[in-house]
Amino acid sequence: MTTTDRTPRKLHVVTHGCQMNVYDSARMTDLLRPLGYETVAAPEGADMVIINTCHIRERAEEKVFSQLGRLRKMKEEQGGNMMIAVTGCVAQAEGEVLAQRAPFVDLVVGPQAYHRLPELIAQAHRKAGAVIDTDFPVEQKFDYLPDDAAPQGVVSFLSIQEGCDKFCSFCVVPYTRGAEASRPVASVLAEAKRMVALGAREIALLGQNVNAYHGEGPDGSTWSLAQLMDKMAEIEGLERIRYTTSHPNDMGEDLILAHRDNIKLMPFLHLPVQSGSDKILRAMNRKHKADDFRRIVERLRHVRPDMAMSSDFITGHPGETDADFEETMKLVRETGFALAYSFKYSPRPGTPAASLPQVEEAVKDARLQELQGLLREQQNTFNASIVGLETPVLFTGSGRHPGQIAGRSLWLQPVVVEHETDLTGKIRMVKITRANPNSLSGTLLDKELIAA
Ligand code: SAH
Ligand code: SF4
Ligand code: F3S
């Protein structure tokens, strides 16, 4: 790898999919910086374009191909002087097929192989046709990523676990991200400390199944997520810790108690349940019942009464009847969610559910509408319940309008305050005065800092 060649080059990165892809895109940019690549906001005129892709639903995949169509034209207009790399989960899943379908693509790199990007780029310069690397290498990519990451801001994301061994009937992740693997504690702590030194006040730990984290501790023993977060809470300057995404089966008692004992852990949890019907949960291979989810939520609210819940739902999984869907609505009504994401089931190639008899599109749609109506109502109710509260807000930057600053509540809600002075990175008490559809408005309570 030549790190001495610093001819300035323009790099444009497009990111689809989950937060882990956002993290990966940032790390790819870090990897290419020593080679002279500087990021630009638009693809026109770029020397290199990376599309970091998502394969989770059909629509996510379609987006990639329409974007590639536009890039092809641009590349032609630049006389071929644009290296195009497709990375992420579509790259992993499609590999060769993608290279054939889009022959103007120079590099196809899976999510576990992108630390090899500098050498792959060199190979692509030498070779006609696409260079494809969709291996799951034995070495962990995290060991090969540079230490000098660019700052992400007040709220930073840190991948600590990758891959999934759960094989839910509908999901491509075990195929695109490979087997579950956790980073060692020391490497996570070192990165967290670097992030805080660069201005992070809140860190969200990421993983496809982040609560299954089982990293090697400094003493050689295996550490759980709760243990890791305990140690992270000792980092001075770090004020807030979150983790996402979790699976109900890995919600151990120590993790539940961390929401009581770890003062930096936020009272908000994204815990996907997918369905409220035991029959569908079984068909989905989720390996838990709706009541298991109910019990976890009850325990969490018992140890931390202000705990707010978020979740993911799928409507129209093969086999889902009106009665099954009604079970989902019932679970939602009983739980009360602060936030939720819901999707129409999308059959994905190679997954078990894709080969089963499918629910009609119109039925999937109607159920999604009904579910989203209820979830929206619950989100409004939750936001309205915060009005009147005096609560700490972590300020992340300026608001959309002049004279406004913006931050986040304990429960992930955007909060907007009229204030002239920049408070980025600081936590202040705010009285919440109004709930808007997607944010809260408030007024600064006093001059006293909670955290600088
Ligand atoms: N690891 C997480 C979520 C991964 S994907 C978990 O275990 O829950 C994010 C969400 O996308 C999932 O929670 C699910 O609700 C949705 N999803 C995944 N595959 C899907 C599919 N084939 N069709 C529709 N939604 C899907
Ligand atoms: Fe996909 Fe299930 Fe793994 Fe989540 S737990 S990533 S939904 S297979
Ligand atoms: Fe998509 Fe891959 Fe994330 S499929 S949701 S980018 S793990």
- Helix (H) or strand (E) run with residue 72 in it: helix 58-77
How far, in Å, is the centroid of ligand 2 from the Cα of 140?
Answer: 21
How far, in Å, is the centroid of ligand 3 from the Cα of 23?
Answer: 12
Query: With contact defined as beta carbons under 8 Å apart, do 417 and 430 qualify?
Result: yes
Is any ligand 3 atom within 6 A of the Cβ of residue 57? no
Instruction: Tell me, rounded to whole angstroms, the distance of Cα 39 from its chain centroid.
Output: 22
| pLDDT at res. 2 | 46
Closest-approaching ligand to the CA atom of 310: 1
Is any ligand 2 atom within 6 A of the Cβ of residue 48? no
Percent of the chain with pLDDT over 90: 88
Query: Where do we find the tokens 């204030």?
Result: 419
Query: What topology does CATH give the domain 390-444?
Result: OB fold (Dihydrolipoamide Acetyltransferase, E2P) (2.40.50)
Is any ligand 3 atom within 6 A of the Cβ of residue 55? yes
How far, in Å, is the centroid of ligand 3 from the Cα of 152?
Answer: 20
| pLDDT at res. 62 | 86
Lowest-confidence pick of 218-222, 337-341, 444-448: 444-448
Is any ligand 2 atom within 6 A of the Cβ of residue 164? yes
> How does 30-56 read in b/e, with b if 16+ C-beta sit within 10 Å?
ebbbbbbbeebeebeebbbbbbbbbbb
> How does 211-228 read in b/e, with b if 16+ C-beta sit within 10 Å?
bbbbbebeeeeebbbbbb
Query: With contact defined as beta carbons under 8 Å apart, do 216 and 177 qualify?
Result: no
Arch. (CATH architecture) of 141-385: Alpha-Beta Horseshoe (3.80)
Is any ligand 3 atom within 6 A of the Cβ of residue 18? yes
| pLDDT at res. 447 | 60
Rounded Cα gap, residues 186 and 123, in angstroms: 33
Which ligand 1 atom is the nearest neighbour of the CA of 171? 19
Average pLDDT, the chain: 94
Instruction: Tell me the chain's radius of gyration from C-alpha atoms.
Output: 23
Average pLDDT over residues 382-401: 95
- pLDDT, tens digit, 9 for 90 and up, residues 173-203: 999 999 999 999 999 999 999 999 999 999 9
Distances in Å between the Cα of 358 and the Cα atoms of 47, 281, 354, 361 are: 44, 16, 8, 9
Is any ligand 3 atom within 6 A of the Cβ of residue 176? yes
Q: Which two tokens stand for residue 21?
A: 């892809």
Domain definitions of the chain by residue range: 9-133, 141-385, 390-444
pTM confidence score: 0.94
How far, in Å, is the centroid of ligand 1 from the Cα of 30?
Answer: 29
Annotated binding-site members = 18, 54, 89, 164, 168, 171
| pLDDT at res. 450 | 66
Query: With contact defined as beta carbons under 8 Å apart, do 213 and 161 qualify?
Result: yes
Rounded Cα gap, residues 148 and 27, in angstroms: 10
Annotated binding-site members for [4Fe-4S] cluster = 18, 54, 89, 164, 168, 171
Closest-approaching ligand to the CA atom of 353: 1
How far, in Å, is the centroid of ligand 2 from the Cα of 276?
Answer: 17
Is any ligand 2 atom within 6 A of the Cβ of residue 173? yes
Best of 173, 177, 312 for a ligand 3 pocket test (most atoms within 8 Å of beta carbon): 173
- pLDDT, tens digit, 9 for 90 and up, residues 350-391: 999 999 999 999 999 999 999 999 999 999 999 999 999 999
Rounded Cα gap, residues 257 and 253, in angstroms: 6
Is any ligand 1 atom within 6 A of the Cβ of residue 272? yes
Closest-approaching ligand to the CA atom of 284: 2
Closest-approaching ligand to the CA atom of 19: 3
Confidence class for position 5, pLDDT limits 50, 70, 90? low
Instruction: Tell me, rounded to whole angstroms, the distance of Cα 309 from its chain centroid.
Output: 17
Using alpha carbons, select from 371, 373, 364, 320 the residue that is nearest to residue 345: 364
Rounded Cα gap, residues 448 and 428, in angstroms: 7
CB proximity list for 133: less than 8 A, separation 6 or greater = 107, 108, 109, 110, 113, 116, 120
Best of 15, 21, 171 for a ligand 3 pocket test (most atoms within 8 Å of beta carbon): 21
> How does 317-346 read in b/e, with b if 16+ C-beta sit within 10 Å?
bbbbeeebbebbeebbeebebbbbebbbbb
Look at residue 102 and tell me whether its pLDDT is greater than 80: yes
* Counts for the chain of helices (H) and strands (E), in that order: 12, 21
| pLDDT at res. 351 | 97
Nearest residue (by CA) to ligand 3, atom 1, is 54
- End-to-end CA distance of the chain, in Å? 41
Q: Which two tokens stand for residue 320?
A: 């889902």
How far, in Å, is the centroid of ligand 1 from the Cα of 343?
Answer: 8
Closest-approaching ligand to the CA atom of 348: 1
| pLDDT at res. 1 | 45
Average pLDDT over residues 86-101: 93
Residue type, 421: T
Nearest residue (by CA) to ligand 1, atom 5, is 56
Is any ligand 2 atom within 6 A of the Cβ of residue 352? no
How far, in Å, is the centroid of ligand 3 from the Cα of 260?
Answer: 31
Please tell me whether the peptide bond between 15 and the residue prior to it is cis, using omega within 30 degrees of 0: no
Sign of torsion over alpha carbons 114, 115, 116, 122:
positive
How far, in Å, is the centroid of ligand 3 from the Cα of 80?
Answer: 30
Nearest residue (by CA) to ligand 2, atom 2, is 168
CB proximity list for 211: less than 8 A, separation 6 or greater = 225, 243, 246, 247, 250, 251, 252, 255
What's the CATH code, domain 9-133? 3.40.50.12160
